[in-house]
Amino acid sequence: MVSEKENNPRYGIGEQDFGGLRERDCIYVDKTQFIKGIVTSGPKYYFLARPRRFGKSLFLSTLRYFFEGRRELFKGLYIDTTDWDWAEYPVLRLDLNTDRYSDQGKLEVVLDNLFNQWESKYSINNIASDYSQRFNNIIRIAHERTGKEVVILVDEYDKPLVGNLNKEDNFEHYRSKLASLYSNFKSSAEHIKLVFLTGVSRFSKLSVFSDLNNIRDITFDNEYADICGITEKELLEYFQVGIERLAKRERTDYDGAIRMLKRNYDGYRFAEEGSEIYNPWSLLNAMQESKIGNYWNDTGMPTIVAESLKRVGADLEKTFDSLCEDDDLKGLDLLNPNPRALLYQTGYLTIKKYIRSVRKYRLGIPNREVKKGLFNVLLPYYVKCKMENPKQTVSGIVTGFILGDPQEAMLCMQSYFAGIDFKMRIDNENNFHNAFYLLMDLIGLDTETEVHTSDGSIDMKVETEDYIYIIELKYDHTAEEALQQIKDKQYARPWHNDNREIILIGASFSSSTRCIEDWKIEKSGQNNIGFNINILC
């Protein structure tokens, strides 16, 4: 096994070409053991869904060089120890990740460039006018010219669809074009050795899955759970030098650096029995920069996710911590989008636990980096503040909670909600809970929602080093009612043995003024030491 270079490790940031990585002597986390399963298990058609920047393209590139017989690139890797004959097969890699497909007609440009190359390579002179027929001819003639069945690798097969989830006309246009193109996998089966598709979603209305009734979807397969991404074992095996440099930069020890990496980039899981996985893009960048940063978020903010969640009125608190079956996560329907499926497939939710007794997955946000990026993009869709200095107000919220001054924190919170743009005003209880939750978690406070107790569910619990806040939110009801519910149901009881001070907050939001109208604060165990504020926005 090739380990990390001792003095000057090369991480190959952004390099998706396996050959380039190996020739430049960059670190490559060996995933070739999965190739053996693919070429020996029998099925001709495979599908793998993973979020963006998770190594799908690199794995397809690895498959390409393997089937091209480039054994010299695999020296020292697992697959080089097998008895594979290393024969050269014709490989067609259909990379759809090269455009954003914002307008109709973009797909044809991408296909034309690829098809021109393949038609030239296999001396195809009789060029069909229809793209589906051109693809059919290329597959058939490549087989005839080489005497070897064709390997087809489709990178981000669903990219034109994902980019148009909220544009029904464009979505339908590309769905039709792709369905026609992919129909060749079935009609040309006699010329094909392997088809391997990757993407972020299994679209239920794309016929490739219904036509190929023997396609193997390995997305949730325990055997392939670690095919992309980096496990804890691989982190320790390949990145020792990078971890040591990070520890030095962050002024901590080796174990402290690992904890930082785990907190920010680990936490993904893709199967019932799968390991926890680090986001490879973020991890490699952290190693290169010797710095904890928001690398994955910087590659593109998911506005389409925010728009879809807002459009369907998703309850964010319940969506971010929920139970579901694997079928709920496999497909996307344009007309009836499932918020959990969309968040899972785009990498903003992941499997946290498999509960075998009920055969359901518990979903959650993977890590700190993802949470920060997601909430940053979601908050403007629920709260759009027009105040002169919102950062100062947010700072007041944080400081108030940390220093045990909830009165100041709530005054700043009220000011923030009062500055919401009129067109973005909160108009129902669900949006109020979503906005409050997003703001609290985004500004860095340790926040939990829907915390279950023996006698109910706490709307929100906020913890700091010295304080625990139990918060009940009411929409068009009084703060007194909210506070009384906390006391009647003894929400604070589980933390009475905690050394920190417990503070209860009941808050009321008014539909008429569309902002926080009043609140009542009380320390747990005391009768009434709080405030009763009634200030209209």
Average pLDDT score over the chain: 86
Q: Per-residue pLDDT for 310 more than 50?
A: yes
Please choose, from the candidates 532, 462, 530, the residue with its C-alpha nearest in 3D space to the C-alpha of residue 495.
462
Q: What is the pLDDT of residues 363-380, one digit of tens each?
A: 999 998 988 778 767 766
Q: What stretch of H or E contains 115?
A: helix 106-121
Q: What is the pLDDT of residues 32-84, one digit of tens each?
A: 999 999 998 888 999 999 998 999 999 999 999 999 999 999 999 999 999 99
Q: What stretch of H or E contains 318?
A: helix 316-319
pLDDT-derived band at 331 (thresholds 50, 70, 90) equals: confident
Domains and CATH numbers, the chain: 18-219 (3.40.50.300), 230-298 (no CATH), 300-364 (no CATH), 383-534 (3.40.1350)
pLDDT at position 340: 86
pLDDT at position 428: 62
Q: Which residue has the higher pLDDT, 47 or 512?
A: 47
Strand partners, 294: none
Q: And the tokens for 495?
A: 């933390």
Q: Which residue has the higher pLDDT, 4 or 470?
A: 470
Q: Give the HSE-up count for residue 328: Cα atoms under 13 Å, Cβ half-sphere.
A: 18
In this structure, are residues 471 and 505 in contact, taking their beta carbons and an 8 Å threshold? yes
pLDDT-derived band at 525 (thresholds 50, 70, 90) equals: low
Q: Which amino acid is at 76?
A: G
Backbone angles phi, psi at 533, to 5 degrees: -100, 140
Residues 138-147 have a mean pLDDT of 97
CA distance 447 to 400: 15
pLDDT at position 533: 35
Segment among 149-153, 170-174, 219-223, 332-336 with least mean pLDDT: 332-336
Q: Per-residue pLDDT for 204 more than 70?
A: no
pLDDT at position 434: 74
Query: Each residue of 367-379: b (16+ CB within 10 Å) or e?
Result: bbbbbbbbbebbb
Q: What is the pLDDT of residues 88-127, one digit of tens each?
A: 999 999 999 988 898 999 999 999 999 999 999 999 998 8
Q: Which residue has the higher pLDDT, 175 or 309?
A: 175
pLDDT at position 358: 92
Q: For the chain, percent helix, then strand, then coil, each to nearest 5?
A: 45, 20, 40
Please choose, from the candidates 412, 375, 378, the residue with its C-alpha nearest in 3D space to the C-alpha of residue 393.
412
Residues 483-507 have a mean pLDDT of 93
Q: And the tokens for 317?
A: 């608190």
Q: What stretch of H or E contains 288?
A: helix 280-289
pLDDT at position 336: 64
pLDDT at position 449: 77
CA distance 382 to 378: 7
DSSP per-residue string spanning 337-389: --HHHHHHHTTSSEEEEEETTTTEEEEE---HHHHHHHHHHHHHHH--B--S-
pLDDT at position 528: 38
pLDDT-derived band at 195 (thresholds 50, 70, 90) equals: very high
Q: Per-residue pLDDT for 276 more than 50?
A: yes
CA distance 309 to 442: 17
Q: Which residue has the higher pLDDT, 528 or 245?
A: 245
Please choose, from the candidates 76, 187, 63, the residue with its C-alpha nearest in 3D space to the C-alpha of residue 133.
187
pLDDT at position 453: 80
CA distance 27 to 270: 24
CA distance 19 to 346: 28
Q: Cα-Cα-Cα-Cα dihedral of 374, 377, 382, 386, to 10°?
A: 140
CA distance 215 to 209: 7
CA distance 447 to 460: 7
In this structure, are residues 229 and 268 in contact, taking their beta carbons and an 8 Å threshold? yes
Q: Per-residue pLDDT for 208 more than 80?
A: no
Segment among 127-141, 171-185, 295-309, 405-419 with least mean pLDDT: 295-309
Q: Is 48 helix (H, G, I), strand (E, B) or coil?
A: strand
Q: And the tokens for 476?
A: 């068009």
Q: And the tokens for 170?
A: 């464009």
In 3-43, where does DSSP find H-type helix? 18-23, 33-40
Q: And the tokens for 369?
A: 């980096």
Residues 164-188 have a mean pLDDT of 90
Q: Which residue has the higher pLDDT, 320 or 30?
A: 30
Residue with tokens 């396996």: 18
Residue with tokens 């027929």: 133
CA distance 57 to 19: 13
Length of the chain: 537
CA distances (Å), origin 246, targets 4, 123, 251: 15, 52, 8
CA distance 46 to 223: 14
Q: Residues with Cβ < 8 Å from 436, sequence gap 6 or more?
A: 460, 473
CA distance 152 to 463: 52
Prediction pTM value: 0.77
Q: Residues with Cβ < 8 Å from 302, sequence gap 6 or more?
A: 346, 348, 374, 377
Residue 307 burial (CB count, 10 A): 14
